[in-house]
């Protein structure tokens, strides 16, 4: 019987939709030549939900209807989440507890705009702007030798370690739960302040290399496919279900890769922007379309590449907000884009190789009877369910 049906059944009974990008925790720090320090943590309110992936964004228009008590409760939750998920260390002092001031912004600490006197004049884009909570701590740290953060074991989100030292962008870390960031060397900065000399850059030996940042984003990209990107996984499964022959697989995976790489890059740099309310239902529908073709067609033809290419463009847009919302420096954005995309490809190859290896002993006739048809029916039903849910329930 089908070797991977139990996995798909688990997904079906869980009815997971993954209609929105996975929330992360960006921690941004700025160390200025006058000794002042600003640390900001961006908390997406979806993080408070039991199922953040299926939770819709808190939109600007909805926030305007919140009472002061409801807003205060969100601030309280954000503060508690930061305390539970991130540790801040200033060397040689040790761990510090920042005193954060909370405010509502959109991504990257950009202001929310809203005309409360005549709300009907607000644009749809203004009303639908996603809201995040920005926690900000301003202090002075002229005698610090280093700064780092730690993502706690109990955390469930990736933590971005983003720093600016004397106006210069510092290497980026992406931390999984239980990991420590590198130590940002503050000795030259601190000495320059105390001697009132020209600001100096951090010691190069204290910095992670671009290769380390690249590696971090490879892990991010892989995790956004396995275990978190089930709609992407099921589309790739649909490609393999038609045929395990090497040449058709290479054609399809190559076209899919080129297509979603192109739109991922375009959307990440802000050249293309399509609301997730449009993209996510189409991604779900793409699973069903590929599944239906698998059921009624027994052999591969090159016409399938048109469908795969079109849906690949859509899947790339679905990944785009992972990087676009972080407002990363250009060099980190380029490295992140390359690493993240490579991680996605490695995730795809894991899915393909897994199915091929699990069904290796089946001949083509048995593979179609026990895998292709029943597997396509199952993922097609999941795709229909996700499409309906994303269209009507958000």
Judge if 126 and 256 occupy the same domain.
no
| Residues 93 and 196 placed together within one structural domain of the fold | yes
- Do 333 and 269 touch, CB atoms closer than 8 A? yes
Query: Would the pLDDT of 90 be above 50?
Result: yes
Residue 17 pLDDT > 50: no
Q: CA dist 234 to 108, 240, 315, 341, 394, Å?
A: 32, 10, 12, 18, 20
- Considering the domain architecture, whether residues 58 and 141 belong to the same structural domain is answered as yes
The predicted pLDDT at position 31 comes to 94
Same domain, 180 and 234: no
pLDDT at 394: 61
pLDDT band with cut points at 50, 70 and 90 for residue 29: very high
Q: Looking at the structure, do residues 382 and 300 belong to the same domain, yes or no?
A: yes
- Domain tally for the chain? 2
Q: Are residues 272 and 377 in the same domain?
A: yes
Instruction: Note whether 358 and 344 are same-domain residues.
Output: yes
Q: What is the pLDDT of residue 359?
A: 93
Domain boundary, last residue among 195, 221, 247: 221
Q: Are residues 333 and 266 in the same domain?
A: yes
For the segment 112-131, what is each residue's pLDDT rounded down to a tens digit?
A: 999 888 888 889 889 989 99
Choose among 157, 194, 199, 193: nearest CA to 175.
Answer: 157
pLDDT for res 23: 78
Average pLDDT estimate for 91-99:
93
Contact between 182 and 208 under an 8 Å Cβ cutoff? The reply is yes
Question: What value does the mean pLDDT take over residues 162-181?
Answer: 92
Over residues 211-264, the pLDDT tens digits come to 888 999 999 899 888 887 888 999 999 999 998 999 999 999 999 999 999 999
Q: For tokens 């919140």, what's the residue?
A: 66
Q: Average pLDDT of the chain?
A: 86
Q: Which of 221, 245, 263 is the last residue of a domain?
A: 221
Kindly report the pTM of this predicted structure. 0.78
Query: C-alpha distances in angstroms, 17 versus 54, 116, 250, 345, 390?
Result: 6, 34, 28, 21, 8
Long-range contacts, stretch 303-307, CB < 8 angstroms, 24+ apart: 304/242, 304/252, 305/251, 305/252, 305/255
Give the tens place of pLDDT for each residue, 329-339: 778 888 888 99
Q: Where does a domain end: 182, 202, 221?
A: 221
- Predicted pLDDT of residue 135: 97
| Length of the chain (residues) | 394
Question: Strand (E) positions, the chain?
Answer: 25-31, 36-43, 86-91, 94-96, 101-105, 132-140, 146-151, 159-165, 168-169, 173-175, 184-185
Checking if the pLDDT of 205 tops 50, the result is no
Least confident of 77-91, 190-204, 210-224: 190-204
Same domain, 244 and 386: yes
Please indicate, yes or no, whether residues 102 and 156 belong to a single structural domain of this protein.
yes
Residues 177 and 228 in one domain: no
What range defines the domain where residue 160 resides? Answer: 25-221
Lowest mean pLDDT among 180-189, 190-199, 318-327: 190-199
pLDDT number for residue 207 = 59
Together in a domain, 209 and 228? no
């Amino acid at each position: 019987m089908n070797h991977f049906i139990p996995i798909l059944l688990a997904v079906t009974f869980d009815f997971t939709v993954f209609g929105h990008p996975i929330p992360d925790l960006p921690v941004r720090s700025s160390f200025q030549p006058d000794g002042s320090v600003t640390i900001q943590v961006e908390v997406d309110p979806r993080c408070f939900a039991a199922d953040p992936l299926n939770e819709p964004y808190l939109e600007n228009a909805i926030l305007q209807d919140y009472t002061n008590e409801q807003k205060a409760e969100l601030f309280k939750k954000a503060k508690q989440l930061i305390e539970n998920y991130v540790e801040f260390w200033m060397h040689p002092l040790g761990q510090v507890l920042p005193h954060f001031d909370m405010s509502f912004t959109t991504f990257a600490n950009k202001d929310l705009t809203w005309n409360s006197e005549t709300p009907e004049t607000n644009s749809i884009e203004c009303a639908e702007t996603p809201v995040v909570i920005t926690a900000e701590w301003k202090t002075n740290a002229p005698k610090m030798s280093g700064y780092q953060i730690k993502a706690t074991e109990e955390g469930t989100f990736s933590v971005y370690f983003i720093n600016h030292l004397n106006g210069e962008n510092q290497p980026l870390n992406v931390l999984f739960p239980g990991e420590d960031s590198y130590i940002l060397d503050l000795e030259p900065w601190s000495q320059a302040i105390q001697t009132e000399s020209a600001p100096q850059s951090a010691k190069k030996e204290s910095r992670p290399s671009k290769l380390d940042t690249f590696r971090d984003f490879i892990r991010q990209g892989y995790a956004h496919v396995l275990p978190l990107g089930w709609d992407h996984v099921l589309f790739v499964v649909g490609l393999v279900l038609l045929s395990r022959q090497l040449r058709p697989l290479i054609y399809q995976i190559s076209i899919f890769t080129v297509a979603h790489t192109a739109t991922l890059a375009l959307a990440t740099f802000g050249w293309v922007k399509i609301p997730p309310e449009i993209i996510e239902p189409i991604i779900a529908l793409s699973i069903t379309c590929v599944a239906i073709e698998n059921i009624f067609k027994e052999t591969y033809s090159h016409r399938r590449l048109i469908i795969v290419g079109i849906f690949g463009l859509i899947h790339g847009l679905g990944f785009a907000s992972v990087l676009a919302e972080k407002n990363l420096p250009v060099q980190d954005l380029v490295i992140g884009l390359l690493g993240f995309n490579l991680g996605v490809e490695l995730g795809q190859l894991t899915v393909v190789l897994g199915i091929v290896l699990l069904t290796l002993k089946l001949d083509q006739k048995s593979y179609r009877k026990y895998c292709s048809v029943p597997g396509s029916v199952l993922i097609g039903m999941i795709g229909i369910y996700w499409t309906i849910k994303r269209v009507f329930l958000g």
